[in-house]
Structure 1
Amino acid sequence: MRQPTTASGHDERSQESRRVRPLRVLPCGFLGAQACALGLALAIAAPAWPQDKAIGRTVESLLVFARETNPEYAAIRSEADAALERVTPAGALADPKFRMELRDITKSGDQNPTLSPSQVGSTRYLLSQDLPWFGKRELKREIAEFEAEGATSRARGTWSDLAARIKAAHAQRYYLSRNEKLTREILELIVRLEKVAQVRYAGGLAAQQDVIRAQVEQTSMRSELVTLESESRQVDARLNALLARPAAAELAPPERLPVLPTAARLDYATLEERVRARNPVLFAEESRLKAAEKSRELAYRNRYPDFTVGFGPIQYQNAVKEWEVMVELNIPLQLSTRRAQERESEAMLSAARSRKEATANQVLADLAENLAGIEAARRIEMLATTSLLPQAELTFRAALAGYENGKVDFATLLEAQRQIRQARQSQIKAQSEAQIRLAAIERLLGEDL
């Protein structure tokens, strides 16, 4: 039962509730002293807890999250585990068989039928085991091992592809975020230029067209901001899908891009060797080729028969008086069937070789293409940083001073600010493009550079 409260107790609780309005503290008599203390501690700490710790500031946080949550990667890992578990049964013997025969259950018509081993004419027991021809079990186990290696490589390839898509999406988010920030800065600059144009127009030093041009430029910038915001939401939705999160889940703004490796680490000859040795797709195709070779060998080994051996006693009434041993084998007379299986294995082996060669050619072509792309992006960024951007800033300052002195028209001033914006956009886009190319190279390598 609730304890009656005194006036003084009510006043004390009223003062406490006024001091801590967001908290609702139950009387300790209701929950007990320990429960009340725990509830009060949690209530005080609750406002400090983050509602939803957003990820996305760095690409590393995205990759860690995706490795644990992406269902596609989880599925392919489970398939690889399943393929690994097939190795043991592939090379194991079949279960032995037990057979029991009740002979002459009527004793030549002298009695009614019976199923009792001690009352029939004789009872034959047989324990048998199927034995494949020598080497077949080892070949089946090796085929399963290569298939398991291929499944593991496909899991690695799935992760490499997923990581590359996440890295590319992070680079796109970085580009859109910085471009939006740049657009807002330029918009503020255009607003200030409009004010300058209005002052000059009010003083009769400039035409009204200058003010209108500034307003048109602002409208164009705001329209571009809408486009950038829409593209950002689209990229966020794609990235959330890769992370197995709701499409509208919050992502933190990207803070930085990973550091690009040095030019020496992007040498084509070195990377080609690493790609041939580590590329998950090539490794999977190599495993498939080896499995096809073993399958062909097994197809030719099927020309030889398999055996079944067995032994067992024969019971007469209550005593075992005879023992027997049995050997059985299949006769491989269906030659047309076996020749067809052999031709099939040869064709599958040829297909595996061609597929591996085609995959290697494509992977090396992608490597060369992305290396050329990352080199071009680096050069563009260098030109924009060291040449184009400083020149554009100098041009703008000169145009602004000339406009204030009446020596340059407003159109020239707007064109100068557009050049600054284009230079900065080129710089940001080159950084993003280099990261996308780097992600593609790391996908080919199956590991980070």
Structure 2
Amino acid sequence: MKELNLIKKAPRWLVWYLSYNFEGKTERQKRRQFAINFTCLIGGTISPLFGLYYLTHDLSLWYATIVAVALGLGAYALPLVSRFGDTPFVFATTVLLCGSCIALTLLLGARSGIFMYILIITTMMIIYVGSERVALLLFSTLVSIASITLCFFLPSDGWLTAANTPPLHTVLLISSVPVPILMIAGVMFASFRRMERAEDALEAEYTRSEALLYNLLPEDIAARLKIEPYRTIADSLPQVAILFADVVDFTPRAASLPPEEIVGFLNRIFRSFDQLAAKHGLEKIKTIGDAYMVAAGMPNPVGDPVHRVAEMALDMQRTAEKMASDLPGGLQVRIGLHAGPAVAGVIGNRKLFYDVWGETVNTASRMESHGEPGRIQVTASAKKELEEDYDFQLRGMVKVKGMGDVETWWLTGRRAETRIRKND
């Protein structure tokens, strides 16, 4: 707790007292217990000081001194009572403070204003039991109101003749107002400070969870989930372009590397790919081991989706070439892409996952797995979309698992006139 950290250089007995009854409690319960321990420490110290003042004023006031010292000792002992539960603590606190204030009012007179200290009870109970034990809070409040009301009807002059002097009444009256107010204000200030820190922590946690949600899911999908969290999200997409990329020879390389280097190796590559996906307005779908998947045209349609993934593929090749000299064994990626209709949606109820399914996805995956290192393999439908702006090399018929013979092409780059037009 921050409160205890602030007093870690204090005497051991003080730290022990302020942290008493913390065992087995939650952080919220510890904060409440600390507030009670602190209030009891202040009250237990102030009350005997008043008893000492009574004696210095007149030795015949020793009856009031005994009550004041007993109140102080009782206040010191209240944290011990809290160990037995909320109900004993509330009853003990209410009876001790109300009874002592009534006794002192009888001894010193109602003009002393001693009964004003009863106001502290309700504050202590609100802090300790909060809104969880309404019956106990109501009990202490009603008893406090009844006790203060009773004290208003007690004689203005006290039973102790020596107490019926204007100087004593003036000192007691002046102290009976600010001291309870200062104690209540101090406890409430500490409580509000903890509440504000809790709200700040909650807001920070909310911001982190929001950021995490939007990192896991596309922005539009995350917004839909927040509005209707239990609704199944499934969208039919008429035209999407899918790109699969795979780091060549990663598996044998990973077998000889420690875990930190494996993760660092992939993290460096995929971070670069993430930047490219953001640059071209693509949606990163997932990584599977050393494979990387992005799509254009989902969750919302975009212009020229196939062109976007083609540019991404070419940039990925250039990035791999730049990074090759910095990585042991070099770096090559095998890329495949295809375009067509698909279905996308959110699956899972704990680790939510936005994914895409359909023949388009399967074909793009086959283009990658049946491709070659350092090359981009595309289907006839993807080539048709791109042939006006890009150069291709015919690969020919490729026997693709689950699809039979498929005619494919290698995407080799952007046409020279297209590059000039783009630069202009």
Instruction: Sort the TM-score into its range (normalised by shorter chain).
Output: under 0.3
TM-score normalized by structure 1?
Answer: 0.22
Structure having the higher helix fraction is 1
Structure having the higher strand fraction is 2
TM-score normalized by structure 2?
Answer: 0.23
